[in-house]
Structures are given as structure tokens and as C-alpha cells.
């Protein structure tokens, strides 16, 4: 590991529990590089995660960290950020954690536009419990709970975030690592609710039962099936079918929740509130 990045890890907690070839480590690597790039004060940065393979990340990171309950990371983060707007609060969550059991919290955190950075590790599956379908499992895929092929439709996390009120929305992949670092850095810098969907390979619980090959093959899929926002904007809709658009997808300036609450305090105290 790059020496300058070691300080962001709890080195005594490593090695991690992830399977060989798992993409989670690449996403966490992109996160610490983004934190390093921005020069965030680690004492003023908290990492909050849910439950799942991806949510185990919080334990490896050398900050104040909370490994919450399944789906609840955003609720803890909302309370912490509202109580302590001085902290940078970053939420790490899986596709199931964020959009199934935590789906309601996800849309409401977005609606409030509270200044949290949410990184959704999208591996299209419930990895930790061994490959059951998630709200991001593509139709017709196999999962241990859809042995005859999945008949449900997946969410588009970025559209969900945008429609719910998030003010920064991006999508990246573990193949496009440098871009992922920049997207996460932009998300953290953005004042408001920001979401980065990180497409990541789960070769064990998703890849194997769908015959997607090993980890490099799954990353190659990311390379071949994605298109940048810029390139996509030049193509007619029919040529975009089946392509996953990556990059910064949406950004707007909008009133941020904790700042608005501070205005309420200032108004009722005549400026004497803490």
C-alpha cells in the first residue's frame, strides 16, 4: 500500500474479510485517495456504514466510524450531521442496504438535501448473505432466491437519488478508478446530499451464478458496457441502449438542511444560538 495512504487505514484491522477479486477494496481505495486529495481533517471526518460486505469498510478506516444496522446508516448519519454540522459525514452502503431495507431513508435523506456523501457499492446482489437478489439485480439474472431467472425490474440508483432531491449525483466503476476518485472528491466537496453509485464486481456471490467470469472479466465488462456522460451526450438514444452512463450525472445548488436549520436557530434566538 502507498505509504501516504496508510494513515487512513487501521492497519491492525487488515487484512480485510473480502473474497479475492472483490471490488470493494477498489472503492475504499478511491475513497481514501479522494479524502487525501481534498486534505480532509481525519479528526473531523466520520464514516458511517450499514450492514453487508461493503459496509464492513468502516472498520478498516482510521476515522470515527459507525457500523450501524442493516439499511440504517443514513439515519445515524442524519442525526450526527444535524447535531454536528462541523463534521464531514460519509456514508458507505451496499445496493441492498441503500435501496431495499434502507430505501425509505435514502429517498428522505436526499429530499432533505442534508450534507452527506453517500457511496453506494453496487454489486447487483446481496453479497454478504450469499447471493440473493437485491433491488439492483438485473431482470433475468440468477440469484439464489431467483433460481429460475429474476422477474423484477431494477432501480436506477442515480435516477432515484435525483428524483428524490439529491443535489449531486454521479456514477463510476472500479475499472475507471481515477475517475471514481474524482467523482467521490467532488461529491464530498459538494454542499448538499450527494450520491456516488460505484459499480463494483462481486465475482463470488453474483458473478459465479451468472457465469460472468472471474474478477478481471467482470471489470472488463465495466469497461465495455459503460460510456462517459460526454460521449453519451453526442449519441442518439437508440445507440445508448444497454450502455451504462458514467461520470457526473447531475448537480445543482440548493439550500442545505443543516444550514437551513441553523438559520431557524439564528432567527428564534436573535443570533444568540450556538
Partner 1 sequence: MSQTMLVQGNHACALGALAAGVRFFAGYPITPSTEIAEILAKELPKVGGKFIQMEDEIASMGAICGASLGGFKAITATSGPGFSLMQELIGYASLAEIPLVIVNVQRGGPSTGQPTSPSQSDVMQARWGSHGDRGVIALVPSSVQESYQLMIDAVNLAERFRTPVIFLMDEVVGHMREKLVIPKTTPTIINRRKPEPGELPYAPGPDGVPALPPFGEGYHFHVTGLIHDETGFPTGSPEVTEKTIKRLHQKLENNMDEILRYDELHSADAEYLIISYGCSARSAEEAVRMAREKGIKAGLLRLISIWPFPSDLIEEKCARVKKVFVAEMNYGQVTGEVTKVLGRSKVQPVLRVDTQMITPRQILEAITREGN
Ligand X SMILES: Cc1ncc(C[n+]2csc(CCOP(=O)(O)OP(=O)(O)O)c2C)c(N)n1
- Is 250 strand, coil or helix? strand
Q: Is position 97 an interface residue for ligand X (rule: CB under 6 A)?
A: yes
Nearest distance, CB of residue 235 and partner 1, angstroms: 38
Q: Is position 129 an interface residue for ligand X (rule: CB under 6 A)?
A: yes
Interface segment toward ligand X; rule CB under 6 A; list 73-81, 118-126, 174-182, 266-274: 118-126
Binding-residue pattern over the window 119 to 148 for ligand SF4, x denoting contact by CB under 6 A:
----x---xx--------------------
Q: Is position 19 an interface residue for ligand SF4 (rule: CB under 6 A)?
A: yes
Cell of 62: 482510521
Q: 173: phi > 0 → left, psi -120 to 50 → alpha, else beta; which? A: beta
Q: Is position 118 an interface residue for ligand X (rule: CB under 6 A)?
A: no
Under 8 Å CB-to-CB from 24, ≥6 apart: which residues? 16, 18, 53, 54, 56, 57, 121, 200
Closest by alpha carbon to 73, among 87, 60, 56?
56
How would DSSP label each residue in 58-79? GGGBSSEEEE-STT-HHHHHHH
Judged by beta carbon distances under 5 to 8 A according to partner kind, the member of ligand X, Mg ion, partner 1, none in contact with residue 207 is none
Q: Which is nearer to partner 1, 56 or 150 (CB)?
A: 56
Q: Which is nearer to ligand X, 192 or 203 (CB)?
A: 203
Q: Give whole-number Cα distances, 146 to 95, 142, 143, 204, 255, in Å.
A: 17, 6, 5, 16, 42
Q: Do β-strands 194-199 and 117-122 pair in parallel, antiparallel, or remain unpaired?
A: parallel
126 in Cβ contact with 96 (< 8 Å): yes
How would DSSP label each residue in 128-139? TTTSB--TTSPT
Q: Is position 113 an interface residue for ligand X (rule: CB under 6 A)?
A: no
Q: Give whole-number Cα distances, 150 to 21, 30, 46, 80, in Å.
A: 25, 31, 37, 38
Interface segment toward partner 1; rule CB under 8 A; list 57-65, 175-183, 230-238, 240-248: 57-65
Q: Is position 123 an interface residue for Mg ion (rule: CB under 5 A)?
A: yes
Residues of this chain, 176-235, that bind ligand SF4 according to CB under 6 A: 202-205
Q: Which is nearer to ligand X, 32 or 128 (CB)?
A: 128
**Chain residues in the site for ligand SF4 (CB under 6 A):** 18-19, 22, 24, 53, 123, 127-128, 202-205
**Chain residues in the site for partner 1 (CB under 8 A):** 10, 13, 42-44, 46, 48, 58-59, 62-69, 72, 74-84, 86-87, 104-105, 108, 261, 264-265, 268-269, 273-274
Amino acid at each position: 500500500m502507498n505509504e501516504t495512504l496508510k494513515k487512513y487505514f487501521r492497519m491492525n484491522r487488515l487484512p480485510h474479510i473480502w473474497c479475492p477479486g472483490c471490488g470493494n477494496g477498489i472503492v475504499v481505495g478511491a475513497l481514501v485517495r479522494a479524502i487525501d486529495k481534498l486534505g480532509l481533517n481525519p479528526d473531523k471526518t466520520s464514516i458511517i456504514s450499514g450492514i453487508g460486505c461493503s459496509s464492513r469498510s468502516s472498520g478498516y478506516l482510521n476515522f470515527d466510524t459507525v457500523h450501524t444496522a442493516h439499511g440504517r446508516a443514513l439515519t445515524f448519519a442524519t442525526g450526527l450531521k444535524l447535531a454536528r454540522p462541523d463534521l464531514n459525514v460519509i456514508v458507505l452502503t451496499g445496493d441492498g442496504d441503500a435501496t431495499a431495507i434502507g430505501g425509505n431513508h435514502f429517498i428522505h435523506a436526499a429530499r432533505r438535501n442534508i450534507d452527506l456523501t453517500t457511496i453506494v457499492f453496487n454489486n447487483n446482489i446481496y453479497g454478504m448473505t450469499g447471493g440473493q437478489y437485491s433491488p439492483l439485480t438485473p431482470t433475468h439474472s440468477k440469484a439464489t432466491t431467483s433460481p429460475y431467472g429474476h422477474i423484477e425490474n431494477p432501480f436506477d440508483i442515480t435516477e432515484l437519488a435525483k428524483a428524490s432531491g439529491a443535489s449531486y449525483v454521479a456514477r463510476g466503476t472500479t475499472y475507471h478508478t481515477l475517475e471514481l476518485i474524482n467523482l467521490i472528491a467532488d461529491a464530498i466537496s459538494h454542499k448538499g446530499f450527494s450520491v456516488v453509485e460505484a459499480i463494483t464486481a462481486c465475482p463470488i456471490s453474483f458473478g459465479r451464478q451468472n457465469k460472468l467470469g472471474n474478477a478481471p472479466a467482470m471489470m472488463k465488462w465495466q469497461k465495455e458496457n459503460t460510456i462517459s456522460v460526454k460521449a453519451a451526450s453526442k449519441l442518439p438514444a437508440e445507440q445508448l441502449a444497454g450502455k451504462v452512463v458514467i461520470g457526473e450525472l447531475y448537480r445543482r445548488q440548493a439550500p442545505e438542511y443543516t444550514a437551513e436549520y441553523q438559520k431557524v436557530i439564528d432567527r428564534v434566538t436573535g443570533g444568540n444560538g450556538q
